[in-house]
Structure 1
Amino acid sequence: ALWAFAASITVRGAISDHTYNTSVTSLTTTIEPLTIELPAEREASYLWLISGRRSSEASLLTTRRLVDEAIPAARSALQGGSLFADSRPAINALFAQLAQLGKIRAAIDSGAMSPPAAFQAYSGIMDAEFSFFKSSLQYRPSSLAEISIGTVDSAYVYELARREATLVDGALADRGQMSPSARQLFASSAANRGLLMNDVLVFLTPDLRAPYLSVANSPAYHEYQAMEDRILASLGGSGPIPVNAGAWQSSSGTYLVAMLDAELKTATTLTTMTASLTDRQVTEAILAGGAGLLAVVVSVFLLVWFGRKVTRDLTRLDDNVRGMAQERLPRVVEQLRRGDDVDVLAESPPPDTSTIQEIAQIAESFAAVQRAAVGAAVDQARMRKGVNQVFLNISLRSQSLLHRQLAMLDSMERRTGEAKALADLFRLDHLTTRMRRHAESLIILSGATPGRGWRDPVPVVDVLRASVAEVEDYVRVDVVSESQDLVAGNAVNDVIHLVAELIENATA
């Protein structure tokens, strides 16, 4: 499936690019006469109208005939280009503009259309044509998209420069006078030409950019730009444009020829790059279809063979892991809970190894983790057992000493008759009782049972009094109970401690 997907994309891309290149080459050849002759008809019409329709119509009629011959072929090529389906709105807009050509000519012949209006009408057709060129670039390979944009922009720069030249030629033919409408068209063309020229230099690669930089650095262009600046500076006035006819014809002609030459070089280079890209994609398609299929067959064989081996080894490793998690480790924990001794090596046998290095490393790592887990559990159990034994020994010793101390205090209380000394002995007796309660709590925390206990049931009142005796602020506590109930002997000690804790919380 992966091979079919990759091969289909590669082959489809190669076929699509080849089809696009073929279509573009055919369309360019077909539409080129219209692109060349339509600006020529615009120039002839504009100059004829500027002369008051008194000059010879031979040039105008010739250009019209050439345009009429070019339109059917261009229309047929654009209508049959299924590759440019998404450019259909731009194509329809171009057809709508070309449909107005008969009305434009009739208005020119009758004198109903002014020279600037006729100039703008022809320019609108050219704008629609370049809009189609721009919209068709979306089918270009992404690696050539920016270069293609730069190439179209360079052609548009040449078109705008021809517009400027036509407007100035018309003004020179009319004794240097340029109407406000023509001045506005000139300013618009000059501004757009400058902006598009910047785009050309941005989008093109250094090699393709070199001819345009050569044009921009040429003396003819500098002279052309200087005269253009003077014309733009004079547009606010009403006098003749400040340029010399001979100088303008020389610089503008040289500049237009140089721009056309640079444009042709760029187009030729782009065609070569496109052909090279198509050849590379065809090669990739062949490799994807032939060598790719062979690689897929070998890969499938290796995948099946290696996959079975990996599955067997991983299944054995999984059985060992589950045995450790579900049987051995719970058994070790239970033995430790009972206090039994555990052999770490016997309870953590190494899992089955594998000839596959990665799985063998995983098995070794798991064996190390298994030994560490069992060893840590054993060590923790031993440490807890040792700590509990320490707590128990210390607590039992403290309890024994406190029992002896309480016996001595009880003997001293019976022998003392002095009230003040007796009160001190009572407080010391009470303090010792509290210390005994804490010692017995430590014995319980160590997991053992305090040695002090009762065999027979004890009245509830006596249990409550014993609890009060184990509280620091015992003088604030009164025991008021007439209960005749008894507390079982084995529960007396725990109940005394529990109630003492609650009372101490209350007094605090």
Structure 2
Amino acid sequence: MLVIPLVSLVALWGFAATITTSESLKLLDISTLYQAIGVPADKLARSVQREHLLSAEYLATGSAEARSLLADQRRIADDDRQELRSRSGADDAQNAMSAPMKARYSDVMAAADELDDLRQDVDARRIDLVTLGQRYSWLPTAMIALINSMTLSNNVELYQQSRSLTSIGLAEDHMTREIALASGLLLVNSRWEESERRAFTQLAAKREFLFEQGMLELEPDLRAPFEKLLVSDAYRQFQRMESRIVGGAIGPDLTHAAWRQVAQDVDKAFRAAIDVGGEALAFRGEPAAIGTFVRAGVAGVLGLVAVILSLFVSWRAAGAISRELGGLRSAAQELAEVRLPRVVERLRRGEKVDVATEAPELEPPGTTAEVRDVAYAFSAVQHTAVDAAVDQARLRESVGQALRNLARRSQGLLQRQLKLLDAMQRQTEDSAALEDLFRLDHLTTRMRRHAEGLIVLSGGTPGRTHRNPVPVAETLQGAVAEVEDYPRVRVYPMPEVALNGSAVTDLIHLFAELLENATTYSPPHTEVSVRGEAVAKGFAVEVEDRGLGLPAADIEAINRRLASPPEFNLADTDRLGLVVVGRLATRHGVKVELRPSPFGGTTAIVLIPAAVLAPEAVLEGAGA
């Protein structure tokens, strides 16, 4: 009940703290990336732009002086390239880069390595000025993409200003490509080809467009250096020369030297303005990062304190509720497994039960209202269950008493009827009437057995007893006499063993029920055999029929009922004879078990314990 919301709370706090802290750390990483990548990359870009200019002049003249200047610049560019590779390959720079940044960084390094192939084409002079400008643009373009990926997109202010400066930087790169292309052509004073003029015009238009786009969203403090550049004499003169070249009105006064001087002044001012803006923007992110980090830290600490406090309070509350519920569970288990079964067992034995003593109210194990309510509910259930058990026991006792009264009345009437029949049999000489009286006597005997069976089921004793021991064979013959289909029963000779007189009536009834079942559930032409022999633990009697038999599951179920006879249930009237057998066997310690017969039917084995058997001397005295 408490674990799921607490885990969700901790997970939510961890997620929020991680997101806020990671974004703050990313803001701090901007300064690291600027120093490790931005500064050396910008330095390399300037060296490559200078190399581009000298390469164009070398392609135009092919002079040794141009070749020497170009070689010196290449060494400078190589040093700058190595510096970029060394500083950007450091662990702090690599760890500060995200996956998209690392992809852009790989593009930059690949473009830097491409310089070697480009230099070979320049040395062989197998590349024109337009293509030269395009291939030298690869490295600045890759650097611009890297710088864009270094800016946090979720910091709107830094993102917009960085994009504006990037646009202006790209405009400066287009300007250097203009300068290189025009320098190469003006140096030899050659006629411009249409492709060369078109390339220059496109570079000029893109430079102007990128510069204007960058100035639109640039903040005033970052825009100031560029506004100063726009009104400078060098920039205005550069624009005039640029317009003359685009318009084709170059003239003798537009020389290479004049172009180089103006271009150099403009590029220097342009680079200075970009450097100022880049440094200001890079270090602007650090205070914001620190402020965000502090706020995130405070919020995280407060959130952690709230989570810990919630965990503590919840743990205490959960522990208290758990202990109360544990106590309630123990009390309920004792009620269900110990107290109620004990009360029910006493009621079954007919003992008087005080409900208030045997089923006291459960003591609430704590102060929680809901747990107390559950305890009171359990107490109510307990009282209801015990009251129901008491009422049921009283009902069973009343029903049993009523059945015993009716059965004993029937038993008394049947006993008088048997005496009357016996007197009539002695006085009658007519064989036909005597046979009818004998059948009536047999029927009355069976009726008496059923009445005594009802007494046994209701918890009483039949009342008929024998004072002297009776041989087992005579007991079995008496049982046969109480069976309807008695002519089919054959009692085989057996040892002369006698039963105590107190057990004779019950065992006659027990064997009669077994014989009744055997004759009922076997074909009418088959024999029911009864055999007996002395065994180590007493005397064993086998009652075997030759019927269809019973399934193994039914035999197992019947044996369980015989070993532990169930409570008499008025709704369950099937095989009441076996219930009577179980009751009588339990009363005298007799064991009764059913087994499959070799002839296909069922064999009932009755083991009479030695305690029920009479001593041999008593049997001889009784016989004398």
- Supply the distance in 2 between the matched residues of 1:164 and 1:241 (Cα, whole angstroms): 19
Q: AA paired with 1:106?
A: Q
Among 38, 44, 52, the alignment partner of 2:48 is 38
| CA pair 256-98 structure 1, distance change in 2 beyond 3 A | closer
- Supply the distance in 1 between the matched residues of 2:218 and 2:124 (Cα, whole angstroms): 45
Partner of 2:26: 16
- Supply the distance in 2 between the matched residues of 1:127 and 1:8 (Cα, whole angstroms): 34
Task: Determine whether 1:286 maps to 2:297.
Answer: yes
- Supply the distance in 2 between the matched residues of 1:215 and 1:302 (Cα, whole angstroms): 66
| CA pair 220-64 structure 1, distance change in 2 beyond 3 A | closer
Q: Map residues 430-441 of structure 1 onto 2, 5 A cutoff.
A: none
User: What SS does the aligned partner of 1:243 have?
Assistant: coil
| CA pair 6-87 structure 1, distance change in 2 beyond 3 A | closer
Cα distance, 1:23 vs. partner? 2.6
Partner of 2:186: 172
- Supply the distance in 2 between the matched residues of 1:249 and 1:211 (Cα, whole angstroms): 22
| CA pair 49-284 structure 1, distance change in 2 beyond 3 A | same
Among 221, 227, 230, the alignment partner of 1:216 is 230
Q: Does the 8 Å contact 2:105/2:146 carry over to 1?
A: yes
Cα distance, 1:205 vs. partner? 1.4
Partner of 1:227: 241
Q: Does the 8 Å contact 1:21/1:274 carry over to 2?
A: yes
Q: Does the 8 Å contact 2:104/2:142 carry over to 1?
A: yes
- Supply the distance in 2 between the matched residues of 1:173 and 1:6 (Cα, whole angstroms): 63
Q: Does the 8 Å contact 1:149/1:203 carry over to 2?
A: no
- Supply the distance in 2 between the matched residues of 1:241 and 1:290 (Cα, whole angstroms): 74
Partner of 1:267: 278
| CA pair 37-249 structure 1, distance change in 2 beyond 3 A | closer
Partner of 1:51: 61
Partner of 2:198: 184
Cα distance, 1:270 vs. partner? 0.4
Q: Which has the larger radius of gyration?
A: 2
Cα distance, 1:145 vs. partner? 0.5
User: What SS does the aligned partner of 2:65 have?
Assistant: coil
| CA pair 28-140 structure 1, distance change in 2 beyond 3 A | farther
Cα distance, 1:57 vs. partner? 2.1
- Supply the distance in 2 between the matched residues of 1:214 and 1:145 (Cα, whole angstroms): 24
The answer to which of 37-46 and 51-60 deviates more is 51-60
Q: AA paired with 2:298?
A: L
Partner of 2:264: 253
The answer to which of 35-44 and 207-216 deviates more is 207-216
RMSD: 3.2
| CA pair 170-179 structure 1, distance change in 2 beyond 3 A | same
| CA pair 74-122 structure 1, distance change in 2 beyond 3 A | same
The structure with higher relative contact order (CA 8 Å, sep 6+) is 1
Q: Does the 8 Å contact 2:169/2:274 carry over to 1?
A: yes
**Which structure dedicates a bigger proportion of its chain to strand?**
2
Partner of 1:502: none
Cα distance, 1:121 vs. partner? 1.9
Unaligned runs of 5+ in 1: 304-508
Partner of 1:195: 209
Partner of 1:142: 156
Q: Does the 8 Å contact 1:10/1:284 carry over to 2?
A: no
- Supply the distance in 2 between the matched residues of 1:166 and 1:253 (Cα, whole angstroms): 11
User: What SS does the aligned partner of 2:98 have?
Assistant: helix
Q: Does the 8 Å contact 1:171/1:241 carry over to 2?
A: no
Cα distance, 1:148 vs. partner? 0.8
Q: AA paired with 1:129?
A: M
Q: AA paired with 1:279?
A: I
- Supply the distance in 1 between the matched residues of 2:198 and 2:233 (Cα, whole angstroms): 27
Among 63, 72, 82, the alignment partner of 2:73 is 63
Cα distance, 1:225 vs. partner? 1.3
The answer to which of 164-173 and 1-10 deviates more is 1-10
Q: Map residues 82-101 of structure 1 onto 2, 5 A cutoff.
A: 82=95, 83-101=97-115
- Supply the distance in 1 between the matched residues of 2:117 and 2:208 (Cα, whole angstroms): 32
- Supply the distance in 2 between the matched residues of 1:4 and 1:97 (Cα, whole angstroms): 42
- Supply the distance in 2 between the matched residues of 1:266 and 1:256 (Cα, whole angstroms): 15
Task: Determine whether 1:117 maps to 2:131.
Answer: yes
Cα distance, 1:60 vs. partner? 0.8
Q: Does the 8 Å contact 1:37/1:67 carry over to 2?
A: yes
Cα distance, 1:71 vs. partner? 2.4
- Supply the distance in 2 between the matched residues of 1:22 and 1:116 (Cα, whole angstroms): 37
Partner of 1:315: none
| CA pair 279-136 structure 1, distance change in 2 beyond 3 A | closer
Q: Does the 8 Å contact 1:87/1:136 carry over to 2?
A: yes
Cα distance, 1:39 vs. partner? 1.1
Question: Could you state the TM-score of these two structures normalised by the residue count of structure 2?
Answer: 0.44
Cα distance, 1:241 vs. partner? 8.0
- Supply the distance in 2 between the matched residues of 1:12 and 1:137 (Cα, whole angstroms): 14
| CA pair 121-218 structure 1, distance change in 2 beyond 3 A | same
Cα distance, 1:230 vs. partner? 1.5
Cα distance, 1:165 vs. partner? 1.9
Among 119, 127, 152, the alignment partner of 1:105 is 119
Cα distance, 1:89 vs. partner? 4.4
- Supply the distance in 2 between the matched residues of 1:13 and 1:135 (Cα, whole angstroms): 15
Partner of 2:35: 25
Q: Map residues 459-474 of structure 1 onto 2, 5 A cutoff.
A: none
- Supply the distance in 2 between the matched residues of 1:294 and 1:84 (Cα, whole angstroms): 32
- Supply the distance in 2 between the matched residues of 1:245 and 1:109 (Cα, whole angstroms): 22
- Supply the distance in 2 between the matched residues of 1:285 and 1:117 (Cα, whole angstroms): 52
The answer to which of 180-189 and 134-143 deviates more is 134-143
Task: Determine whether 1:276 maps to 2:287.
Answer: yes
Cα distance, 1:137 vs. partner? 3.2
Q: Map residues 294-333 of structure 1 onto 2, 5 A cutoff.
A: 294=305
Deviations 1:175-197 (A, max 9, x none): 26444443233112111111111
| CA pair 120-7 structure 1, distance change in 2 beyond 3 A | closer
Task: Determine whether 1:129 maps to 2:164.
Answer: no
Q: AA paired with 1:46?
A: A
| CA pair 103-249 structure 1, distance change in 2 beyond 3 A | closer
- Supply the distance in 2 between the matched residues of 1:6 and 1:220 (Cα, whole angstroms): 53
| CA pair 101-246 structure 1, distance change in 2 beyond 3 A | closer
Q: AA paired with 1:170?
A: G
Cα distance, 1:278 vs. partner? 1.3
- Supply the distance in 1 between the matched residues of 2:222 and 2:244 (Cα, whole angstroms): 31
Q: Map residues 147-162 of structure 1 onto 2, 5 A cutoff.
A: 147-162=161-176
Q: Does the 8 Å contact 1:230/1:242 carry over to 2?
A: no
Partner of 1:469: none
Unaligned runs of 5+ in 2: 1-8, 315-624
| CA pair 43-244 structure 1, distance change in 2 beyond 3 A | closer
| CA pair 150-59 structure 1, distance change in 2 beyond 3 A | same
Deviations 1:463-500 (A, max 9, x none): xxxxxxxxxxxxxxxxxxxxxxxxxxxxxxxxxxxxxx
